[in-house]
A and B are shown apart, each in its own frame.
Chain A
Amino acid sequence: MKPLCYIFILLIIGYSGNAQTKISGTIKDNKNKPVPSASIVLKDTYDGATSDSSGKFYFATAEKGKLTLTVTAVGYRPAEQIIDITGNDITINIAVREEVSELKAVIISAGSFEAGDKKRVTVLNSIDVATTAGANADITGALKTLPGAQQVGESEGLFVRGGTAAETKTFIDGTLVNNFFYSSVPGIAQRGRFSPFLFKGTVFSTGGYSALYGQALSSALILESIDLPEQGSSNIGVSVLSLNAGHQHLAKNKKSSWGISYSYANLWLAFKAIKQRQNYSRVPEYHEGDANFRIKTSETGIIKYYGYFSANRLGIITPSIDTAGYYDAFNIRNFNMYHNLSYRESLGNGWKLTTGISYSTNKDNIEGQLQDGAEKEVNIPPLAYKNFELESPGQYFNAKTVIDKRLMGISVIRFGGEYNYSNDKYHYTLYNGQKFSSSIVDNLKAAFAETDIYITNDLAAKIGGRFEHSSLLNKSNIAPRVSLAYKTGRQSQASLAYGIFYQNPEKKYLPSPDVLIFSKATHYIAQYQKVTSKTTFRAEMFYKKYNDLIKTDMINAAQQVAANNNGYGDAKGLEIFWRDKKTFKNIDYWVSYSYLDTKRDYTNFPYAIQPNFAAKHTASLVMKKFVTKWKTGFNMSYTYASGRPYYNIMYDGSDYKFTDMGKAKDYNNVSFSLNYLPNLLKKDSKTFTVLVLTVNNIFGINQLYGYNYSYDGSRKTPILPPSRTFIFLGAFISFGIDRTEDAINSNL
């Protein structure tokens, strides 16, 4: 029986083998383009084929009856069709629809530089920031080598596309940071307070940014803090400027971590070695500490806390320009505290919650004096205003909640609210003991909604709106924002952006006796970019219109106070960015160029002029090379800015008038830095050491930022950098974590 059975079966197989049905056809997408490499399967059988480069397929099957033919292809939604196999050859054409996916979709990118997203090619990451020569591991220092930002050396902040530094706002994990920079010192740009290594992602928007952010006419700097560290570690650092130590602990289950660090900086040694133009009555000194914890609440949820305090002081004495033989003294003490608590979680079903609060306080004690040669305060009638004390404590609370809901494909709708409370107090004591106090409180509430719509992989739109109400102005505004992006090729795309942006008047011109409204800017941006795995090219054109800028009046003979919103202005320009890690072996470089044509009438300007913080041409070249044989990275940067205009504007009792104007010479700076990693060879080394040498303005090129004028406008002195060349030397050691691989791979 059994052998018979076998024969019978073999016969059947043999027979069916002869009765093959040929199935052939073409796979096309909804645009009628052939889809190659699609898998065609006769469901639940071994039979099927793969489409060729023209979308054609062919296979033979011994099956009979009604069967399902399925088609799957990367980037397309699966398709199914029932076919009836009767023995006759079948020709069938099947259409598949493109699937919108994050990897293939166009990126809505007009106006912004995104860094840190690991999937996509990044513009800058934290190692880039640390190894950009001339940036001194300061986030904004590195961002200044990107197009759009000005090379302003006499004051801190990002001056973007003809905007003032106050028109750029910084956000950490979604919430506003009120005192991102150290307190201003006349003529010396201050650094940002936060280390680049705190952040895993950076978005530097030079215009047209999302409705999630507001109160910035020009630019938003959006920083996303790191999650759990991969390993616990301890570190110490020694440099000519500072000492620091820190510890980061990671729980055994890798679900939570905490860390603390402390640093003390004193510039005495550095100033001893490198002559400073300013004469310091008190050498800058900083005490800083920070603490953090991060708890993973689930697979997708995390709570993060970061807290920071800083206490610092310095004093400067400069020969007075107003009266020969006398000196201007400036002393500042600052105490700053910052706390940020954030939480994010996926709520399932495409919902996501991101929420955060931050609380900070900042207190400046500033003392200005006119002194004689013996450092004694003197009162000379027209210059009496130079003797004052200012105490300005501020308290800030910010909260923000964003809810995301995933729609079809990768489209998203996002909405939420923001609350910013600020209370800035000013206590002035004049030379004669007279006291003035003011308090500026603002409750700013905002609601926003936006949606990212991916129509296809090639076409996407971001449409949003923001509503704001300021209790200080007792006004509301509604700001629409729209961006479009279209993929022009596999690696290239074009984008457009439009948006309206509102901002409250700067606090330093308040309180005002007059009724004020929001200042307004309207952005129009067109961008083209081509990104490959090793190169990035970007060109962007923009036009920005300013309305309702603040105009000021003079009160108390020395104080500018907001008077009305009659100011206006515009800015237009072209920017180009090119980064290349491919052409020269082991060399990573980027070039950026910005052309800016801007004029504005604001504060005390007699009429619309090119402001003194805006250069027409700005360019940077940044190069990095890692020589593994020497375990050393070499970094170089060159920055150029055409001469900025300078003005002296004086109040003649009724009007502001120019008493002097001109153009400073071009700015050039070549900086160099070197990182040496002595433990590089020892693969299993438990300590990781980096030695850093930085030389700013290596050729000692004369740089002029503008002029300071005497009170009567009769004399001027140039505003120059604190020293011609600055050298920094430091060693940073971390224990318990082998970061060799990081260092290598970041420099490959």
Chain B
Amino acid sequence: MKKILSLFAASIIMFSAAAQSEKYVKAMEANLAKFDTVKTTAGLIDLSNAFARIGDAEKNQWLPYYYAALTLSTAGWSDQSLDKDANAEKIKAFCAKAEAISDNAEICAVRNMAATQQMLVDPQTRWQTYGPEAASAMEKGLKLDPNNPRLHFLQASGVFNTPEQFGGGKDKAKPMLEKTLELFNAENPKPLYPHWGKKQVEDMLASYK
């Protein structure tokens, strides 16, 4: 009887864990589906909050926090009137929460973007503070995952967007982009895991034709 009871108990625990995970997967999928369609800053903040709620409730999943940070980062690129410092502080706070669960290269990519966005507010005076911050996030990320396609994408697009006279330029970026595309093609992301960046690389490579 005892055996049966404990089996029953175990099955309930397992079952509920599976159910919770299903709920998690469903919620994440629903939000990730919005990720590609939401365009406004208000919408992105709403989506970021939705991811953060999942993160807070789950407590041991890093992906919700990662996406909470990434959606704000998207808003940071698209909305020029956004307060970049306040936004970046929020991004970094989400990154810190994600890192506490799993310290990985994907989070480094988001940190790199946050620091870059802060630097671009006033490059002349902010370069010395945020330049090294962005660089150290990149360095750490490549150490954790040398073939992370998103880190390579950020590096290549940095060169792509830097004028030739500053040591950048499209010609210099081309081999980097090609390598990045190879890394993307070789990548086989787990469900819910980040996979963004490939389309941008393809678009950039298309601009050479």
Contacts and interface: CB of A to CB of B under 8 A. Distances in A.
Contacts of B127: 741-742, 745-746
Interface stretch (B159-167, B186-194, B201-209): B159-167
A121 B122 contact: yes
A118 B57 contact: no
Interface string A1-25: 0000100010000000000000000
A74 B46 CA distance: 13
B86 A103 contact: yes
A745 B123 contact: yes
A119 B166 CA distance: 25
Given A52-B42, A747-B124, A681 B57 contact: no
18 contacts: A9-B15, A37-B42, A39-B53, A44-B56, A45-B57, A46-B54, A46-B57, A50-B46, A50-B50, A74-B86, A74-B90, A103-B86, A118-B128, A121-B122, A125-B125, A628-B166, A740-B167, A748-B123
Provide the main secondary structure of the chain A interface: loop
Provide the main secondary structure of the chain B interface: helix
B146 interface: no
Interface string A29-56: 0000000110101011111111011000
A687 B104 CA distance: 36
B49 A39 contact: yes
Interface string B118-137: 00011111111101100000
Contacts of B23: 46
A679 B129 CA distance: 23
B19 interface: yes
Nearest to B51: A46
Given A5-B15, A533-B121, A746-B127, A48 B49 contact: yes
Among B23, B49, B125, B166, the most chain A Cβ lie within 10 Å of the Cβ of B125
Contacts of B27: 46
Interface of B: 15, 19, 23, 27, 42, 45-46, 49-50, 52-54, 56-57, 85-86, 89-90, 121-129, 131-132, 163, 165-167
Nearest to A628: B165
B146 to A, nearest CB: 21
Interface in A596-633: 628-629, 631
A46 B49 CA distance: 10
A746 B85 CA distance: 20
A244 to B, nearest CB: 24
A122 interface: yes
A683 interface: yes
A41 B56 contact: yes
Contacts of B56: 41, 43-44
Interface residues of A, number: 44
Given A48-B50, A53-B42, 18 more contacts: A37-B42, A39-B52, A44-B57, A45-B57, A46-B27, A50-B46, A50-B49, A75-B86, A103-B86, A118-B125, A119-B85, A533-B122, A581-B124, A628-B163, A628-B165, A631-B165, A681-B167, A741-B131
Interface of A: 5, 9, 36-37, 39, 41, 43-50, 52-53, 74-75, 103, 118-119, 121-122, 125, 230, 533-534, 581, 628-629, 631, 680-684, 740-742, 744-748
B125 A45 contact: no
B53 A48 contact: yes
A613 B165 CA distance: 47
B76 to A, nearest CB: 13
